[in-house]
Amino acid sequence: MTKDLRTFLTDLVKQDPGSLKRVSAPVDPRFGITAYGAFYDKRAEYPALLFTDVSGVDVPCLTNLVATHDRMALALGVPVETLTHSSIAGQGRAAQPPVQVPAGQAPVQEVVWRGDEADLTRLPIPTHNELDGGPFLTAAVAVMRDPESGRLNAGIYRHHVYDGKRMGVWFFGSHDGGTIHRRHAERGEPTPIAIVIGHHPAFLMGAVSRVPGVGGEYEAAGAFLGEPVELVEALTSDLLVPARAEIVIEGHILPGDLAEEGPFAEWPGHYVGGGRKPVIEVDAITMRRDAIFQDIQASGREHRLMGALPRIASVHEAVRQKVPGLKAVNIPLHTRMHCYLSIRKELDSDPTRAAFAAFNTEPENLRAVVVVDDDIDVYDEREVSWAIGTRFDAAQDLQIIPRWNGPGGLLPTNWTYDAEGGRSPRMSSAVIIDATKPAPPIVFPPRARVPEEAVSAVDTAAVHDVTSTDLWDQRLP
């Protein structure tokens, strides 16, 4: 069966019962949905939550679905160790071009709202955190066509819902979304945009992948799904949208139409206002019968996991091109601005080359790349700190790239703050921490260990709890 959100929810109910919970109580979309996420987060639990009674709307809201490694492993069809102890998730899978299905065979167009009916306030769009400027779409994959190459591009962007018909959108830094919009605007044309909500988690992995060049996300999604994405023509533009999504919002951005966007709590754990950003006008909303709206818990674990996992795969792909000895990549969940690379070092230039490939794959988000040898487990923070403690000499192994991040953006370090509460964008630095041993033929002190053969010969049947003092007391006079 072709994969979509529903096939995944079915897999989940069968293979991981209890991992999806339904909330039947009425909830206010303003903080009511994220309240449940925050409640479980405090207990370090991350169930997927389906709200079937969101006040004022008929459509249910699903959140926290992509918040755990276990569910992502199930979605990608790999053991969870692959996601947490190595970084081969999605590697070696070939990109799969999408296929087009005829209009009329697309579940996502079973229900069509046009004109006044196409009203965003009919969807269960949460307001997530205390100081957010309003409701935001957070699991929304926006599809646009590059006017230069004709290629389709996709990415998740934050959409600030102003009213039933208008939303602000912030394309960060060098993301293709912004480039495509600029290219349309420079021609004086509107930018057609289609916002896809609710699909298989492997589709989201593809949409958030850092694919070289503009476009290619549908192909990356096919790689993660292990099958082509089915597309159908949008109703109001020449865009192609996933036929098996739950909901698609079709709209356009007029050149020069800007409005104040944000503030909104972002993954680094702070609120960030966007300033004046492009405005999307809604033209139509299409959906499945009994559509399920999907949300991502903004600034929560789900937001960080969905930022980290696809980038680990993309950084792996990019660094491997430059440094073939690459072993593993980790972008830790708790500090997504750091990246750990382990390499089998052949040349003294390998760590710097590897670090720059990583920075160039994730220029907006990475501030520190730590390069370690292949005997260090990059998924174990203790191992990484030990490598820094024993193999890193700041005077020669620390490289500072003075103006790498910014100006502005999500990282609080990319702004100058003044005493009046104002701020202005600035560039900030990035660092490379080379915690590798010198390249061969230099002989570095070997790492202490008891031989593995000796450890595996341990006889646990001969190990007993000591429950009496006879062993020493009987020798007393």
Ligand X SMILES: Cc1cc2nc3c(=O)[nH]c(=O)nc-3n(C[C@H](O)[C@H](O)[C@H](O)COP(=O)(O)O)c2cc1C
List residues near Mn ion by CB under 5 A.
153, 176
Taking CB under 6 A as the rule, does residue 175 contact ligand X? yes
**Contacts with ligand X, 222-251, as mask; x by CB under 6 A:** ------------------------------
CB 253 within 8 A of CB 191: yes
Question: Which residue in the set 177, 251, 300, 409 belongs to the binding site for ligand X (CB under 6 A)?
Answer: 177
CA distance 101 to 426: 47
Question: Which residue in the set 8, 40, 51, 171 belongs to the binding site for ligand X (CB under 6 A)?
Answer: 171
- At 178, list the tokens: 């912004």
Q: DSSP letters along 388-441, please?
A: HHHH--HHHHEEEEEEEE-SSSS-GGGEEE-TTS-EEE--EEEEEEEEPPPPTT
Taking CB under 6 A as the rule, does residue 218 contact ligand X? no
Taking CB under 6 A as the rule, does residue 156 contact ligand X? yes
CA end-to-end span of the chain, whole Å? 80
- Name the residue nearer to ligand X (CB basis): 350 or 362: 362
Stretch that binds ligand X, among 99-107, 168-176, 237-245, 349-357 (CB under 6 A): 168-176
Residue 426 to residues 175, 178, 273, 367, 419, Cα–Cα distance (Å) = 18, 19, 15, 14, 17
Q: Quick one: angle between helices 301-322 and 350-361, nearest 10?
A: 130
Stretch that binds ligand X, among 8-16, 169-177, 387-395, 435-443 (CB under 6 A): 169-177
Q: Which does 306 bind (CB under 5 to 8 A by kind): Mn ion, ligand X, none?
A: ligand X
Q: Which does 170 bind (CB under 5 to 8 A by kind): Mn ion, ligand X, none?
A: ligand X
CA distance 404 to 408: 11
Question: Which residue in the set 138, 299, 414, 436 belongs to the binding site for ligand X (CB under 6 A)?
Answer: 138
The per-residue b/e assignment along 46-58, b for 16 or more CB within 10 angstroms, e otherwise, is: bbbbbbbebeeee
Which is nearest to 314 in space by CA: 353, 351, 358? 358
Question: Which residue in the set 201, 307, 351, 409 belongs to the binding site for ligand X (CB under 6 A)?
Answer: 307
Question: Which residue in the set 252, 303, 336, 391 belongs to the binding site for ligand X (CB under 6 A)?
Answer: 303
Question: Can you tell me whether residue 159 is helix, strand or coil?
Answer: strand
- Name the residue nearer to ligand X (CB basis): 175 or 344: 175
CB 145 within 8 A of CB 239: yes
- Name the residue nearer to ligand X (CB basis): 264 or 373: 264
Stretch that binds ligand X, among 50-58, 171-179, 276-284, 468-476 (CB under 6 A): 171-179
- Name the residue nearer to ligand X (CB basis): 303 or 338: 303
CA distance 74 to 83: 11
Taking CB under 6 A as the rule, does residue 51 contact ligand X? no
Q: Which residues bind ligand X (CB under 6 A)?
A: 138, 153, 155-158, 170-172, 175-177, 208, 210, 296, 303, 306-307
